[in-house]
Chain A
Amino acid sequence: MTVSSDDVRHVAGLARLELTDDEVERLRRELSTILEYVEQLEGLEAGRATELPAPDQPLRPDVVERWEDVRPLLDAAPDLVDGLFRVPRVIE
């Protein structure tokens, strides 16, 4: 499996990661090596989906719970104005 520099840049864009040229080259080599290792799965037969670990997942009662003190939640925000999260303008 050979990954190209363009592949790396495309995937970095999808993942919202900004990479230097050195990082692109290093990741190109590392991704190629690791994906080549993963290719040993090719040709193996699939198992039954029922064999995947799956706990019973009961739904909890749909009851509203009050979070008494919302202040610490809001205080975690990097930029808060009047109880609202401020972000850079997205619509001109």
Chain B
Amino acid sequence: MSSGHHGTAAALAGAVRAGETTAAREIENAFGRIREAAGLHAFLSVREEAAREEAAAVDRRVAEGDGGDLPLAGVPVAVKDNIVVARGPTTCGSKLLEPYVSPFDATAIVRLREAGAIVVGKTNLDEFAMGSSTENSAFGPTRNPHEPTRVPGGSSGGSVAAVAAGCVPLALGSETGGSVRQPAAFCGVVGVKPTYGRVSRYGLVAFGSSLDQIGTVGATVEDAALLLSVIAGSDPHDATSASDPVGDLSAGLDDGEVAGTRIGWPAEYFGEGLDPAILAACEAARDALAGAGGEIVDVSLPHSPYGIAVYYTVAIAEASSNLARYDGVRYGLRAGAGDLSAMYLKTRAAFGAELKRRIMLGTYVLSAGYYEAFYGKGTAVRARIRGDFERAWERVDAILTPTTPAPAFKIGEKADDPLAMYLNDIYTVSANLAGIPAISVPWGRTPEVPDRPALPIGVQLMGPDFSERRLFEIARFLERKAPPP
């Protein structure tokens, strides 16, 4: 790794504000690290020229004594390539949007700029964020920095790999069913899925509109929280963004009191199919909380086992509707000649296999005769999943679970079994379906066994709507107690 600031984003921003380093130097270091890690294929595009101009502007502000209120002064940030950054590409990992240049910034990007952060590049993802391994990108897979024969998880695999490899201290991802938390667990970093509505989706390419949320990735809990503080809050451009006050999500997390905190332990998350090393990690995290005076409470989330079935009715139905806009008329790829119908068919033929599968499933469950049996039923059971959580919050402040049933799998291992791939998200989808916040925190590694090296493990905390601050305090406690990565 080349020289440069190896501290946290919070420390780096402080050093830039204090004039100890410059934004210009820090982004050059980031570009160097991105080049060194090119074999991981975490980035789809790097915006060197634009980033240099933006860094120079931040350095001018600091030099003029006007940089004191920039919480991310000069911090290089990677952005998943389904969040638009003005005057640059946003491909969504798809041939359909390969020619697209965005005329505007997503609200999250506007807020990053206002905070002094510098977007250094756009990261790889499963096509339109649909997948759990980043193997579905039209531009080739991303590799896990800990073990390059394995997937980084997905769909935010590029953003997570970029942070895990040390290219950048912070990255934005997006979540529909676990697309930030699952790769964060696979790569040994912190991944946050905020409450539905916490972050504006203006400029996030739509997948499942009742589920989508921009999430944050950081090497530390404090960094992931700091990034969320910057991008969160209501936005006139997104009617689903919540007006609840954001508050300071990252300052003084060490002072958070674990004693007396009630931690739920749901039996449904510790049954068959869970890797024994991940179970042991969760038990160790639970015992650490109990040892500090936390109260461990058995809770039941009886509808959680139906999460994947509900998800694959609701999410695919919304996806097939959202993807109907890719018709080759106003932007993106256009293929085919002759009549309008041929143009639609040839243009949409550029979708990859997983996209076609989901569009077909979504169109099927919304079609006449099946709507009630599938989409209607999925929505009805979704309400039960949320109801389970609401009952749990009467007794606990947060819930502790594994993030994934198993550690990172090999590239290609699940490519021919879509259902096995979907079941990877069994512990993460419920938070999206219920709209609640959740965070994955690293907790050591699996033991080394034949044919499997030691791989990172993530434990998950879920909490009531808008309880991000509380979750970060508990997560920070776990981070201090966790075995070394």
Which residues does A use to contact B, with CB under 8 Å? 3, 7-8, 10-12, 14-19, 23, 27, 30-31, 33-35, 37-38, 40-42, 44-60, 69, 72-73, 75-79, 85, 87-90
Name the distance in Å between A27's Cβ and chain B's nearest Cβ: 6
| Shortest distance between the CB of A92 and any CB in chain B (Å) | 10
B384 near A47 with CB under 8 A, answer: yes
User: Complex Cα distance A10/B379, Å?
Assistant: 25
A and B contact pairs by CB, cutoff 8 A, 10 listed:
A3-B364, A7-B364, A17-B345, A17-B348, A34-B419, A44-B303, A47-B386, A59-B239, A76-B100, A85-B329
The listed residue (A14, A19, A77) touching B356 by CB distance below 8 A is A19
Q: Which residues of A contact B328 (CB under 8 A)?
A: 78
Beta-carbon nearest neighbor of B328 in chain A: A78
B422 to chain A: closest residue by CB: A34
Residues of chain A with a CB closer than 8 A to B351's CB: 17
Q: A52 to B306, Cβ gap below 8 A?
A: no
**A76 in contact with B360 given A34-B419, A46-B380, A47-B381 (CB within 8 Å):** no
Of B303, B334, B384, B422, most buried by chain A (CB within 10 Å of CB) is B384
Chain A residues positioned under 8 Å from B446 (CB to CB): none
How distant is the Cα of A52 from the Cα of B435 in the complex, in angstroms?
8
Contact of A76 with B101 at beta-carbon distance under 8 Å, contacts A14-B367, A31-B360, A34-B312 already known: yes
| Closest chain A residue to B237, Cβ basis | A60
Contacts of A40 in B (CB 8 A): 306, 309
* 3 residue pairs, one from A and one from B, having the closest CB atoms: A53-B435, A47-B383, A46-B380
Q: How far is the CA of A82 from the CA of B168 in the complex (A)?
A: 44
B382 / chain A contacts, CB cutoff of 8 Å: 47, 52
Which chain A residues lie closer than 8 Å to B308 at the CB level?
37
Whether, in the assembled complex, B313 has its beta carbon less than 8 Å from a beta carbon of chain A, the answer is yes
User: Taking the complex as formed, is B480 at the interface, i.e. its CB lies under 8 A from any CB of chain A?
Assistant: no
Q: Name the contact of B367 in the complex, choosing from A11, A44, A69 (C-beta under 8 A).
A: A11
B419 touching A87 by the CB < 8 A rule?
no
A16 touching B236 by the CB < 8 A rule?
no
**Do B339 and A88 touch (CB < 8 A)?**
yes
Asked if A46 and B384 sit within 8 Å, CB to CB, the answer is: yes
B196 to chain A, nearest CB (A): 5
Interface of B is mostly: helix
Q: Contacts A14-B363, A87-B329; is A33 near B386 (CB within 8 Å)?
A: no
In the complex, what distance in Å separates the CA atom of A50 from the CA atom of B435? 13
Contact, CB under 8 Å: A41 / B379:
no
Min CB distance A24 to B, Å, is 10
Query: Which stretch (B127-135, B240-248, B273-281, B447-455) binds chain A?
Result: B240-248
Q: Tell me how far the C-beta of B395 lies from the nearest C-beta in chain A, rounded to whole angstroms.
A: 17
Interface centre among B338, B348, B380, B465 (most CB of A within 10 A): B380
With A40-B309, A87-B329, A88-B339: A8-B378 Cβ-Cβ less than 8 Å: no
Q: Mark B304-345, 1 if CB is under 8 A from A, else 0.
A: 001011101100000010001001111111100111111111
Q: What is the CB-to-nearest-CB distance from A79 to chain B, in angstroms, rounded to a whole number? A: 7
Per-position binary interface string of chain B over residues 353-382, scored 1 when its CB falls under 8 Å from any chain A CB and 0 otherwise: 000110111011101000001100111111
B331 near A76 with CB under 8 A, answer: yes
Q: Is the CB of A88 within 8 A of B338?
A: yes
Are the CB atoms of A55 and B345 closer together than 8 Å? no
**Cα-based distance from A54 to B367 in the complex (angstroms):** 25
Tell me which residues from 373 to 405 in chain B have a Cβ below 8 Å from any Cβ of chain A: 373-374, 377-387, 390
The size of the chain B interface, using a CB distance under 8 A, is: 74
A57 vs B200: C-alpha distance when bound (angstroms) = 12
**B239 A79 Cβ-Cβ under 8 A:** no
Q: Is B349 an interface residue (CB 8 A)?
A: yes
B25 at the interface (CB under 8 A from A): no
CA gap between A88 and B241 in the complex, in Å: 39
With both beta carbons as reference points, the residue of chain B lying nearest to A57 in the complex is identified as: B239
Task: Find chain B residues with CB under 8 A from A14 CB.
Answer: 363, 367
B361 to chain A, nearest CB (A): 6
Residue in A31, A55, A76, A78 with the greatest tally of chain B CB atoms within 10 Å: A55
User: Any chain A CB within 8 A of the CB of B103?
Assistant: yes
B346 within 8 A of A: yes
- Within the complex, which residue of B99, B236, B348, B387 is in contact with A60, where a contact is CB–CB below 8 Å? B236
Question: A23-B356, A37-B308, A55-B240 are known contacts; what are 16 more A-B pairs with Cβ within 8 Å?
Answer: A17-B345, A17-B349, A17-B356, A27-B356, A34-B312, A37-B309, A37-B419, A47-B383, A49-B383, A55-B196, A55-B197, A75-B101, A76-B101, A76-B332, A85-B329, A88-B342
Q: Judging by beta carbons under 8 Å apart, are B367 and A58 in contact?
A: no
Task: Compute how far the CA of A60 lies from the CA of B364 in the bound complex, rounded to whole angstroms.
Answer: 35
Q: Is B87 an interface residue (CB 8 A)?
A: yes
Closest-CB distance, B39 to chain A (whole angstroms): 32
Is B434 an interface residue, CB under 8 A from the partner?
yes
A72 to B86 alpha-carbon distance, docked (Å):
10
Q: Please determine whether A47 and B349 come into contact, CB atoms closer than 8 angstroms.
A: no
Q: Is the CB of A51 within 8 A of B386?
A: yes
Q: Which residues of A contact B339 (CB under 8 A)?
A: 88-90
Q: Is the CB of B359 within 8 A of A48?
A: no
**Is B418 located at the chain interface by the 8 A CB criterion?**
yes
- Chain A residues with Cβ below 8 Å from B239 are 57-60
B356 contacts across to A, CB distance below 8 A? 17, 19, 23, 27
